[in-house]
Amino acid sequence: MHRDQAGLTLGVPTDGSASEVRALLDAADPARVLIASFAVRGASLDDVFLTLTRHDDAKETAGVLTH
């Protein structure tokens, strides 16, 4: 998980499926009033490299939630 409080951004790894994204949104904001927007992104080549070389920064996320 990646958190940027200044930017009000939370990154969470996900498989990108609609059901998992919906479950993450429901868990983060059950009343559906706090999250103004969200984005889903795939892994970049940097993400893949860092994961394969086991750097801690490889835990960068595939899904990003913002308030």
Q: pLDDT: is 3 or 59 the higher one?
A: 3
- Residue 13 φ/ψ, nearest 5 degrees: -65, 140
**Distance, CA of 52 to CA of 45 (rounded, Å):** 10
| pTM metric for this prediction | 0.57
pLDDT tens for each residue of 2-45 = 777 777 788 888 888 899 999 999 998 999 998 888 888 888 89
Contact 52, 11 (CB under 8 A): no
